[in-house]
Structure 1
Amino acid sequence: MRLIPELNSGAHVLICGASRGIGLALCAALLARDDVTQLWAVSREATTSAGLAKLAEQYGDRLKRVDCDARDEPSLEALVSETLAGCDHLHLVISALGILHQDGAKAEKGLAQLTMAGLQASFATNTFAPILLLKHLLPLLRRQPSTFAALSARVGSIGDNRLGGWYSYRASKAALNQLLHTASIELKRLNPASTVLAIHPGTTDTDLSRPFQTNVPEGQLFEAGFSADRILEVVGAHGPADSGTFWAWDDKPIVW
């Protein structure tokens, strides 16, 4: 299966949030493919990540590890102007950024637990960072086939919200979905061969989900490698005609 629809050449790929969890698993899955020419693994701790170091030993110069905080615009500007200076096009960008209970964010059970600090932390990583990443990478997505995908969450669906709770996380992912949908309209004008997708990876065995795994039904907790493979299957199945849509790991659409 092609990495993205209509791509007939070796791919230049960037993964943001690449140092652990699903992001690291995506890097491993992509580097194992013959059609990925170059991969940039971007995260706050890319150069000190043991997982990325192991991949670098195996794949050499095909993997570039880049320290960058996507919540910080000067850091994103440097990513494009310095690290990617010799790259004229990115075929695939995946944002694996997301927090639920880290960096001051909280999985609130009720309104009484909401704080400004928690809301700001959730939105900074889950919403602002992915769309700012897209903003700064836009010059590298304006020609040829290109796909920008961001990991969202089913709990960000307003239409599917029947349980409540997790205010900050739900709202930050819902806002991300709106931003991605809006960006897909602009990108379609700039590059008709572009695709923007929001993808729910399923509940994956990572630091994000670990405190809540006892409530996950049998068979519904995925290994990071499985989630990465399913994400790439979804990316490969959807081109420009589906730009601005929201998909689950099993390639089923999710209501906004």
Structure 2
Amino acid sequence: MNAAGRASAVIIGASGGIGRALEAALVEEGAFEVVHGFARSRTGALHIDLLDEMSIAAAAAHVAKGPAPTLVMVATGLLHSGEYGPEKALCDLDADWLAQLYAVNAIGPALVAKHFLPIMPKTGRVVFAALSARVGSISDNRSGGWHGYRASKAALNMLVRTLAIEERRRNDRAIVVTLHPGTVDTALSRPFQGNVQAGRLFNADRAALQLLDVVEGLKAIDSGKLFDFQGEEVPF
């Protein structure tokens, strides 16, 4: 990653598999003066909880002390928890589980954008990226199932598209996107890796580097879109 002058990078969800790898890769590259890694499991200034907007605001206030962030990546997501998991059929729909999925996968990243986009520079190239998923593409849905996860990621894609339009008015070089990391060997995907094609299950370190390469190649015209780990646009 190239960062001009004094700048910082922000990783939201830095205790997860991909988030931790993103934070480590950015620190190792040394392109940013400061790399902030926020997570629910961290304490003090680095604590954040996507279900608690006050903690998101506090994290943004901490970063706003400088240097200004030119890269913010939201590496969070919810697919299964306890007795709940991806629905296989309509009869599996549960209101509480749907609400949880939307809260973590769509509302949380949107609130991060609410508090972090305003503290990013008004001029020059900046990137705000949130992890989405190919299954959140409506046009690519040919198998059904996974109702809540698909719908919450589709909602995230729409929120990011809308945020990108608004952010372009503030900074015409801003890039606001969602990213599909592929299937990564983390706790989120582990119960569902059985049907992954050979060579398509990535370790977190590789996934992080692939995502950072994609981010590096993005241009302002790409804002508001969803890209996969190869840099290919995924249609909504």
- Cα deviation, 1:137-159, whole Å, max 9, x if unaligned, reads 12212423211000000000001
Q: Is the 8 A contact 2:181 2:207 kept in 1?
A: yes
Distance 1:65 1:132 in 2: 18
Q: Is the 8 A contact 1:246 1:255 kept in 2?
A: yes
- Cα deviation, 1:143-178, whole Å, max 9, x if unaligned, reads 232110000000000010001100000000000000
Report the CA distance between 1:88 and its aligned residue: 5.4
**Equivalent residue in structure 2 for 1:180, among 147, 155, 160:** 160
What RMSD, in angstroms, separates the aligned Cα atoms of the two structures? 1.6
Aligned to 1:189: 169
**Equivalent residue in structure 2 for 1:87, among 54, 66, 85:** 66
Distance 1:86 1:184 in 2: 24
Report the TM-score, using the length of structure 1 for normalisation.
Answer: 0.88
**What residue identity is the alignment partner of 1:135?**
K
Report the TM-score, using the length of structure 2 for normalisation.
Answer: 0.95
Distance 2:133 2:60 in 1: 28
**Equivalent residue in structure 1 for 2:94, among 109, 115, 128:** 115
**What residue identity is the alignment partner of 1:158?**
I
Q: Structure 2: state its 5+ residue gaps.
A: none
Distance 2:187 2:6 in 1: 33
Q: Is the 8 A contact 1:106 1:168 kept in 2?
A: no
Task: Report the 3-state secondary structure (helix = DSSP H, G, I; strand = E; otherwise coil) of the residue aligned with 1:251.
Answer: coil
Report the CA distance between 1:245 and its aligned residue: 1.1
Aligned to 1:28: 24
Q: Is the 8 A contact 1:12 1:38 kept in 2?
A: yes
Aligned to 1:15: 11
Aligned to 1:151: 131
Distance 1:197 1:138 in 2: 13
Aligned to 1:125: 104
Task: Report the 3-state secondary structure (helix = DSSP H, G, I; strand = E; otherwise coil) of the residue aligned with 1:91.
Answer: strand
Distance 2:84 2:53 in 1: 21
**Equivalent residue in structure 2 for 1:226, among 206, 209, 213:** 206
Aligned to 1:100: 79
Runs of 4+ in 1 over 6 A off after TM superposition: none
Distance 1:146 1:113 in 2: 41
Distance 2:96 2:112 in 1: 22
Aligned to 1:53: none
Please state if 1:77 is matched with 2:67. no
Q: Is the 8 A contact 2:117 2:128 kept in 1?
A: no
Q: Is the 8 A contact 1:182 1:244 kept in 2?
A: yes
